[in-house]
Amino acid sequence: MERKNKDLIYASIIWFVLTFVGEMLLPSWRFIASPPYSIEGELIDEAFNLLLVLGFPVFTFVLVALFYSIFRYRVKEDDLSEDGPALHGSTSVWLTWLIVTGLLAVIVLIHPGFTGVSELRSNPTADMVVQIEGQQWNWTFTYPEYDITIDKADTLVLPVDTRIRFEVSSVDVIHSFWVPAFRMKIDAVPGLTTTMYLTVTETGTFEENPNLRVQCAELCGTGHARMRASVEVVTAEEFAAWVEAMQANAP
Amino acid sequence: MSWIKGILFGVVGYLAGYWLSISLGVERGTEAPFAIGYVFFFAGWLLGAGVWDHWARSWFGLENKTPPTKESHGWKRYFMFSTDHKVIGVQYLVTFALIFFLAGAFAMAFRYELMRPGRDWLSPKEFNTVMSTHGILMIAVAVSAIIGAFGNFVMPIQIGAEDMAFPRINALSYWTTPPVVFLILGANLLQGADYGFDFGWTAYPPLSTVAGLGKLFFLLAFMTLGLSSILGALNILITVIRLRAPGMTWGRLPIFTWGVFTTSFLSLIFTQFVFTGLFMVVLDRVAGTAFFAPDQGGGALLYENIFWIYSHPAVYVMIIPGFAIMLEILPTFARKPLYGYKWAIGGFFGIVAMSATVWAHHMFTSGMPDWMTVPFMAATEFISIPTGIIFLSALGTIWMGKLRLKTPMLFALAVVFNFLIGGLTGIFNADVATDLQLHDTYWVVGHFHYTIVGGEIFALFAGIYYWFPKITGRMFNEKLGKLHFWWMFLGFQAVFLPMFWLGYNGMNRRIADYIPELAGTNMWVSASAFLLGASFLVFIYNVVNSWVRGPQAANNPWGARTLEWQIESPPIEHNFHQIPTVTGHPYDYGVEGSVHAVLAPQAEAAD
Ligand SMILES: [Cu+2]
Ligand SMILES: [Cu+2]
């Protein structure tokens, strides 16, 4: 009994220290290599970091229990002389465990779970519409308000600080419209129009950040990997100029 | 030889089916004659392999052949039709080990292509087929290997039975699996427009309804695999319910048997969904229906729902037997009772029940209604609760134990470590917000390899080392076993850990090419993948060498308490000299005077 308590105390201290140090270091860990270019992307990065923070104590708990046991209780490999104590776990241990794991599940379900869905997927207003059409293996971008359609486009031009509704569809198989820098994707399903809302917050080009690209994310056949287009986020003035130039060039 | 006769009869059947369908007016040049031909191939293969002998011979008043035994046919019986559950178990084990290595070789092939950005040696179409082949073959291994091998060899002995409830159906479910491999490899050998299948293992229409015979082969293969699963599950359920030895109450059932039993509910119920979904795709292809053709009023999303109603429970068909092996091995090598035995069983049932309610978490970005993501997110978060029970059971078992770090124990402990990472990274996929970024990226690839390879396949190897002396009667080389473990374990971490980073930072999955910025990490992953692949050479050498000339194994080399360790290694035909009487709990290590079962005296290490 005495040894059992000692081990519990030691393991708890190691767990606490490890968790504490880890949680202090986590914020400076640059897992996410490039900045989000949208309000929604920021929310998603925050949700990601929050889940890291919440998951870390669980990670260290199992790790410490596992490695403490391995190092502390190891005996000679062929030593069958002695059995360990016949522990079965009292009901209170099990109920505590269920409550803790249950509570953790409820917490992440509420935030960032419910909050994430309501922030990202439940506000159907937009300043501007861009229609995205996938086909094997390129994209067509249409700006209905400006009468601009770009077939087999290699660049998607977007104005900064504008809430955009992407109306996404496909003419053949299922594709997926993904801009890694915006942290969002939505499938392009034949026979359906799916939507995705985004407010881009920073100007930039594919050359500056390769995650500023449209990438098909749903396997769609031979050309899937290269079904890409670059994304260019420009200021409102630059966008107006681009629209004008496009309209002037139209047949 | 069942294999040669099976192939011969199969080819004859195929030609007959093809000819029959043409002469009945089915249009030549369409896929229909091939599909019908395959049904006849399948029937012919089973006939040739001997699956129908018992019935067919008695219809024609012929005498039945005596089944092959160790005495009459030696090792050759493993290549013949047999209804002995131990022979079938070995057949499953070896067949699926070979499929595992084959699927691994396909992974090596596409990791070579992905070593550098740009095209090296596979065309994008070849890449897609090679990657998809890796996927579906590994799915076959993950669904069938543990259940087929140890569910057959070990489970009946653990419950004190002489064989499975339906030995001939058992054989049928094994002999159903080789055509799966024939079809998948066949699709890889076809030429031109018929070559391969380029839709992963998920086969979403409309991509999977595009013309090309290879795609049809894939669909028929997957359906055949499903048939095998259903038959196997039915047999296991009945066996556990009906054939337990006297005294083997539900509260004394070994945890591995519990795992196989609960898994079989999932296989039996949910495999029918994927079979139906695939069948509808086949109908769209060969019969002109339009279930999934949006331009004719069909719905592409419908398939995704049907598919995942099976394929999410399927991941638990894979992992519960993995958990079960882990929980079976930990008490033996920790010399302690399984911690919270009844809770762990509750955990299995909890997972089984809840796994039916989470499928659309694979569809958060599919365009399904936004509000519908919420219940599926909730159900997915809550399934972590029964999974957590399994973890506490594992940790409680090793806590204060007498840990003997033999090879099977190392693999079992690695399951805890790997599944910890696999499980925690799954939370990011369950969360709708983060999944919008992570879905269909390398994050997901990392996640499911940590759960299925890190969890189940490590458990499979734990089981192979654990039961090797029982199955073969010989001992493997412990040093080589440990070498294999550390090599595989470290190689595995090196391959799959960086994938989480790749996924969040812009690499989607199933791509033949990627942006040059990701080149460094991909080079590392590919190099590590070759290293991981090479670790299995140690395993193969050790297993083959030990099977042929390893030292004689004792009946109970690990000092385990379950029934399979109380009989000879290898066990005699029908396992027991006399049906044992079960008198106590299987994991009462450290409990004075507790006896699991009373058996007739056994011969120790014959000859
Ligand atoms: Cu695409
Ligand atoms: Cu799932």
Q: Which of A42, A46, A218 to mutate to test the interface with B (most CBs of B within 10 A)?
A: A218
pLDDT of residue B605: 52
Q: Indicate whether A110 and A162 sit together in one domain.
A: no
Give the range of the structural domain holding residue A225, as residue numbers without chain letter: 128-249
Q: Indicate whether B586 and B534 sit together in one domain.
A: yes
Is residue A79 assigned to a domain? no
Is the per-residue pLDDT at A89 higher than 90?
Answer: no
Q: Indicate whether B31 and B168 sit together in one domain.
A: no
CA of B561 relative to ligand 1 center, distance in Å: 55
Size of interface A-B (CB pairs under 8 A): 277
Q: How far apart are CA B605 and CA B592, in angstroms?
A: 28
Q: Indicate whether A63 and A156 sit together in one domain.
A: no
pTM over 0.90: yes
Number of domains in chain B: 2
Q: Indicate whether B26 and B164 sit together in one domain.
A: no
Nearest to A224 among B399, B405, B510 (CB): B510
CA of B297 relative to ligand 1 center, distance in Å: 22
Give the range of the structural domain holding residue B41, as residue numbers without chain letter: 1-65
pLDDT of residue A251: 65
- Give the pLDDT confidence of B36-71 residue by residue, as tens digits: 999 999 999 999 999 998 888 888 888 888 888 888
**Nearest chain B CA: its distance from A150 CA (Å):** 23
In this prediction, residue A250 has a pLDDT band, given cuts at 50, 70 and 90, of confident
Nearest to B300 among A58, A87, A191 (CB): A191
Subunit contact A109:B337, Cβ cutoff 8 A: no
pLDDT of residue A123: 87
Q: Indicate whether A102 and A162 sit together in one domain.
A: no
B198 to chain A: which residues are within 8 Å by CB?
A: 219, 221-222
Q: Indicate whether A236 and A189 sit together in one domain.
A: yes
B424 to chain A: which residues are within 8 Å by CB?
A: 55, 58-59
Q: Indicate whether A169 and A138 sit together in one domain.
A: yes
Q: Indicate whether A40 and A147 sit together in one domain.
A: no
Q: Indicate whether B217 and B340 sit together in one domain.
A: yes
Q: Which H helix or E strand runs over B597? A: strand B597-598
Spans in chain B with pLDDT lower than 50: 606-607
Q: Indicate whether B73 and B59 sit together in one domain.
A: no
pLDDT of residue B603: 66
A69 to chain B: which residues are within 8 Å by CB?
A: 395, 398-401, 403
On average, the pLDDT of chain B sits at: 95
Q: Indicate whether B156 and B14 sit together in one domain.
A: no
Nearest to B405 among A74, A122, A191 (CB): A74
Is the per-residue pLDDT at A183 higher than 60?
Answer: yes
DSSP string, chain A: -HHHHHHHHHHHHHHHHHHHHHHHHGGG---S-S---BHHHHHHHHHHHHHHHHHHHHHHHHHHHHHHHHHHSB--TT--S---------HHHHHHHHHHHHHHHHHHIIIIIIHHHHHHHS----SEEEEEEEETTEEEEEEGGGTEEETT-SEEEEETT-EEEEEEEESSS-EEEEEGGGTEEEEE-BT--EEEEEEB-S-B-TTT-TTSEEEE-S--STTGGG-EEEEEEE-HHHHHHHHHHHHHH--
Q: Indicate whether A106 and A179 sit together in one domain.
A: no
- Residue with token string 């199992």: A62
| B141: nearest Cα among B180, B109, B171 | B180
Ranking A136-140, A215-219, B58-62, B424-428 by mean pLDDT, the lowest is B58-62
Q: Indicate whether A237 and A149 sit together in one domain.
A: yes
- Give the pLDDT confidence of B505-551 residue by residue, as tens digits: 999 999 999 999 999 999 999 999 999 999 999 999 999 999 999 99
**Nearest chain B CA: its distance from A148 CA (Å):** 25
**Is A87 within 8 Å of chain B by CB?**
yes
Q: Indicate whether B351 and B460 sit together in one domain.
A: yes
A57 to chain B: which residues are within 8 Å by CB?
A: none
Q: Indicate whether A136 and A244 sit together in one domain.
A: yes
Is residue B45 within 8 Å of B17, Cβ to Cβ? Answer: no
Q: Indicate whether A138 and A117 sit together in one domain.
A: no
Nearest to A83 among B341, B432, B590 (CB): B590
Is the per-residue pLDDT at A189 higher than 90?
Answer: yes
How far apart, in Å, are the Cα atoms of B164 and each of B158, B261, B575?
A: 12, 13, 12
pLDDT of residue A2: 62
How far apart, in Å, are the Cα atoms of A173 and each of B140, B192, B291?
A: 26, 21, 14
Number of domains in chain A: 2
Q: How far apart are CA B568 and CA B550, in angstroms?
A: 17
Q: Indicate whether B266 and B216 sit together in one domain.
A: yes
Q: Indicate whether B76 and B45 sit together in one domain.
A: no
DSSP string, B581-594: EE-S-TT-TT-TT-
Is residue A64 assigned to a domain? yes
B345 to chain A: which residues are within 8 Å by CB?
A: none
Domain of A179, CATH number, reads 2.60.40.420
Q: Indicate whether A105 and A132 sit together in one domain.
A: no
Is residue A82 assigned to a domain? no
Domain of B91, CATH number, reads 1.20.210.10
Q: Indicate whether A175 and A236 sit together in one domain.
A: yes
CA of B314 relative to ligand 2 center, distance in Å: 8
Q: Indicate whether B20 and B141 sit together in one domain.
A: no
Q: What angle do CA B142, B147, B148 make, to 5 degrees?
A: 95
The domain boundary, picked from B22, B46, B65, lies at B65
Q: A residues 199-228 near B, CB within 8 Å?
A: 210-211, 213, 215-226
Q: Indicate whether B195 and B159 sit together in one domain.
A: yes
The domain boundary, picked from B20, B46, B65, lies at B65
The domain boundary, picked from B38, B65, B92, lies at B65
pLDDT of residue B251: 96
Q: B residues 257-316 near A, CB within 8 Å?
A: 294-295, 298-301
| Mean pLDDT in residue range A132-137 | 97
In this prediction, residue A167 has a pLDDT band, given cuts at 50, 70 and 90, of very high
Q: Indicate whether B61 and B72 sit together in one domain.
A: no
